[in-house]
């Protein structure tokens, strides 16, 4: 285990890992599942079931012929009550398949481990599993594992950084599903012909580092790498540089640097499917925040309403002002706690008015802290000025599309300016060619 002497810019945030030593609890079946057809980057799925159909555990209920997509399954048996269009938490229209859970948990008859003998059958199994990036990006894993330059890719990085405050679900996965994780790494290395795997874990997760180090000490090509406990170590480009020294060029993908990056929960879910035939139907979720009565790590079926998950954690101890899917740095606020869990949720955080109130902005003092904090070495205040002028060419020269919206610039800004959000708007302006 080692740490690079040179690092990308990073910031220190309070970790608040209060649930780190809370073993995952399994939530009882809800009465209904509300399963979204838009749970990944790429083309949304179309329902493969109809109102009135009886469905069983592990059954595909949504799919698409598009390459960048992934099938969606149900984790409970029951009856399809409705298929309705609704507004998603990110403000776009989504189809929701509502299932009345019969509590019988009838498993699909032909559910069985896939036959995986080579790369082609492995990639077919990856797609059939429904697995997408579970660290937040939700990029279909079968697409990621099938780069255009496979002969140049030699390294797999398992992202166990979990650098966002509060979230501990990946940490619990590393401790509780470590055998599936290691087996999943070996399966992936074998069928993608990868020479090396680096399991990257922040230094503040010593039990996970020790357990996995002991497990892979005699596994050729697999090592555990200790990352500094700073933010945003879990960002894809950052973890690649910190563990390998390789730089992903602007506009390029990790595969262009000879690397594939996968979240620990993604590999575990994939290996579970390969060993048992059970696709991705549930998630480990950290439920925390000062408005939650009993913070926990919970295994919950995808499609479970967030308010029922919070109810399983004792409900609210304070009136929530803001509820976030994900972490406080990169997560997104939701408008209603009846929204259901989707594949790439790793946390639900609820905070009261005192914590959630956005500080009033003041004038920029040109301190340069945002520039020093940016892991992509961008200039947020200059980007803001270019966006204000709607100067697309200037934004391109400033490499705004490299911004990963980690929030570091906003976090360190003494004027409390929402620089990360402005970067998002600037990226959108560039993508639209300055039409706004």
Fold classified for 30-104: OB fold (Dihydrolipoamide Acetyltransferase, E2P) (2.40.50)
- In the block, tokens 């892979």 appear at 216
Q: Tell me the percentage of the chain whose pLDDT exceeds 70.
A: 97
The pLDDT value given to residue 115: 97
Bridge partners (DSSP) of residue 46 are 63
The DSSP bridge partners found for residue 156 are 197, 260
Length in residues, the chain: 436
Q: Please give the structure tokens belonging to residue 224.
A: 């555990």
pLDDT in tens, 318-340: 999 999 999 999 999 998 999 99
Q: Using DSSP, how many helices (H) and how many strands (E) does the chain show?
A: 14, 17
Burial label, 142 (beta-carbon count in 10 A; 0-12, 13-18, 19+) = buried
Task: Name the token pair of 193.
Answer: 């012909």
Taken in order 335, 341, 347, 352, the sign of the CA dihedral is positive
Q: What is the DSSP letter of 203?
A: T
Question: Over the stretch 115-168, which tens digit does the pLDDT of each residue have?
Answer: 999 999 999 999 999 999 998 779 999 999 999 999 999 999 999 999 999 999
Give Dmax (Cα) for the chain: 65
Q: Where are the domains of the chain?
A: 30-104, 119-276, 283-357, 369-431
Superfamily of domain 119-276: NADH-ubiquinone oxidoreductase 51kDa subunit (3.40.50.11540)
CATH code reported for the domain at 283-357: 3.10.20.600
- Find how far residue 387's CA is from the centre of its chain: 28
pLDDT above 60: residue 5:
no
Per mean pLDDT, which range of 208-212, 356-360, 422-426 is the poorest?
356-360
Question: pLDDT by residue (tens digit) across 265-314?
Answer: 999 999 999 999 999 999 999 999 999 999 999 999 999 999 999 999 99
Question: What's the confidence (pLDDT) of residue 135?
Answer: 82
- pTM of the complete model beyond 0.85: yes
- Nearest Cα neighbor of 214 from 313, 222, 244, 423 is 222
8 Å CB contact between 359 and 379: no
| E strands in 104-248 | 155-160, 196-202, 222-227
Predicted confidence (pLDDT) at residue 3 exceeds the cutoff of 70 = no
């Amino acid at each position: 285990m080692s740490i690079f002497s040179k690092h990308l810019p990073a910031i220190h945030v309070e970790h608040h890992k209060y649930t780190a030593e809370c073993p995952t609890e399994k939530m009882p079946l809800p009465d209904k599942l509300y399963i979204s057809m838009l749970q990944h980057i790429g083309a949304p799925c179309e329902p493969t079931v109809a109102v009135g159909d009886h469905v069983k555990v592990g059954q595909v209920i949504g799919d698409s012929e598009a390459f960048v997509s992934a099938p969606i399954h149900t984790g409970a048996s029951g009856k399809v009550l409705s298929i309705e269009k609704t507004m998603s938490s990110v403000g776009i229209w989504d189809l929701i398949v509502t299932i009345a859970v019969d509590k019988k948990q009838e498993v699909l008859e032909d559910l069985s481990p896939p036959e995986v003998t080579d790369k082609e059958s492995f990639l077919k199994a990856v797609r059939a599993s429904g697995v997408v990036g579970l660290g937040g990006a939700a990029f279909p894993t079968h697409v990621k594992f099938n780069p255009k330059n496979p002969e140049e890719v030699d390294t797999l990085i398992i992202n166990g950084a979990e650098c966002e405050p509060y979230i501990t679900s990946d940490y619990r996965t590393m401790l509780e599903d470590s055998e599936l994780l290691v087996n999943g790494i070996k399966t992936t290395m074998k069928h993608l012909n990868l020479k090396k795997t680096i399991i990257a874990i922040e230094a503040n997760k010593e039990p996970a580092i020790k357990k996995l180090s002991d497990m892979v000490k005699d596994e050729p090509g697999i090592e555990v790498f200790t990352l500094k406990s700073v933010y945003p170590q879990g960002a894809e480009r950052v973890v690649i540089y910190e563990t390998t020294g390789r730089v992903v060029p602007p506009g390029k993908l990790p595969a262009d640097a000879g690397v594939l990056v996968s979240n620990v929960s993604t590999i575990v879910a994939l290996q579970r499917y390969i060993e048992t035939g059970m696709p991705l139907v549930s998630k480990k979720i950290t439920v925390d925040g000062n408005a939650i009565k009993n913070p926990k790590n919970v295994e919950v079926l995808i499609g479970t309403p967030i308010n029922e998950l919070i109810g399983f954690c004792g409900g609210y101890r304070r009136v929530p002002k803001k509820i976030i899917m994900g972490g406080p740095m990169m997560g997104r606020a939701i408008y209603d706690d009846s929204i259901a869990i989707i594949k790439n949720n790793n946390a639900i955080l609820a905070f009261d008015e005192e914590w959630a109130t956005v500080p009033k902005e003041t004038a920029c003092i040109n301190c340069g802290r945002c520039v020093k904090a940016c892991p992509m070495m961008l200039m947020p205040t200059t980007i803001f000025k270019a966006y204000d002028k709607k100067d697309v060419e200037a934004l391109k020269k400033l490499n705004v599309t490299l911004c990963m919206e980690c929030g570091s610039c906003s976090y360190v800004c003494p004027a409390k300016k929402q620089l990360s959000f402005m970067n998002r708007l600037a990226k959108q302006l560039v993508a639209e060619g300055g039409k706004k």
